[in-house]
Amino acid sequence: MKFNTKTIHGGQHNIDPAYGSVMPPIYQTTTYSQTTPGGHKGFEYSRSANPTRSALENALASIENGKYGLAFGSGLAAIDAVMKLFKPGDEIISTNDLYGGSYRLFTKIFEGLGLKFHFVGMQDASNIEAFINEKTKLIWVETPTNPMMNIIDIVACSKLAKKHKLLLAVDNTFATPYLQQPLDLGADIVMHSATKYLGGHSDVVLGSLVVKNKDLADRLYFVQNASGAICGPQDSFLVLRGIKTLHIRMQRHCENTEKVAKFLRTHPKVDKVYWPGFEDHPNHDIAKAQMKGFGGMISFTTSEKTLDSAVKLLEKLKVFTLAESLGGVESLAGHPASMTHASIPKEDREKTGIVDSLIRLSVGIEDDEDLIEDIKQALG
């Protein structure tokens, strides 16, 4: 089954034999009747499993070419479940340019529980090996990275992980399975903040994990059930709905983003533009090899290189909405240093390029001419 068909039919079956509902129904129930103790139809309590959530988990596994999907209350809840696979003293190597919430979870929660994190520039995957020792258990990759749009070679990371018998996890939120399928490139775990492109309409918060290995799936399912950070049936339904249009939305996101990126690069009031579709973007060739397109995200700095110039621009936008998050049908603009990445110390932020004049755009599916005109008027 091809990807575009999978988004609509992949992993799905008629879970409503009573009425033949085309869409999986929302099973808004906490518990299920049993004919005898343990005698049920596959569901007994909705923290453990719910038919609507199961339909979503099957769909997630299908579009990522995995075997097992798990859905959580948020992307951070999904990451939290992965971290709970490890014990005090274990070490994890993460990219040094990643979502601020991931950094906060790693440093403020799990470092306090005994895990050790190394934050490494992974644009050259060979940098990773110097940090591997007998305590290392996981390599955590985000590609493209948030917000600097750095590209990390998943195949190279996979070879390194297999060489040292480590797990490789990839945050695939920016690329989505439409553009990139990390399991096929050698990853063990794929994570999504499904709040973003998979949901696609800025109306649901949800996270997911997809794996191929049954033992790993069972370990993660135990954490999911024991910790209870699951998503509800209504949220599951919304993401299922979003997945069905993922392919056509991502096509338009990519088309619009290319036009906006090229416009920004020619504007005199713009300094640097970070978009992996440029041929001179670091690791552009890797992006071409492991991605079907270059995505819907752009970051750029103003030529004045000041906080004030960035704030003024953001306040003048009319079609782009100044807001947290990304990946919805509407275009959003944000200021990473004070919004999504504020939890990272300023010195550490600036080392990776997250300066005060940096602006991040989530380019939506509106008319590209309207988006460009909006940026043009905001730049003045």
Token pair for 194? 């499904």
DSSP-derived secondary structure for 257-315? HHHHHHHHHH-TTEEEEE-TTSTTSTTHHHHHHH-SS--SEEEEEETT-SHHHHHHHHH
Give residue 133's Cα distance to chain centre.
28
Residue 241 catalytic?
Answer: no
Cα gap 245→146, rounded to integer Å: 24
Which of 6, 53, 84, 196 is the catalytic position? 196
Residue 2 catalytic?
Answer: no
Residue 47 catalytic?
Answer: yes
Cα gap 226→224, rounded to integer Å: 6
Which of 27, 99, 178, 221 is the catalytic position? 99
Q: Does residue 125 contact residue 152 with C-beta atoms inside 8 Å?
A: yes
Which of 80, 97, 171, 374 is the catalytic position? 171
Nearest to 98 by CA among 139, 156, 49: 139
Residue 196 catalytic?
Answer: yes
Cα gap 358→305, rounded to integer Å: 8
Task: Give the CA radius of gyration of the chain.
Answer: 21
> What are the catalytic residues?
47, 99, 171, 196
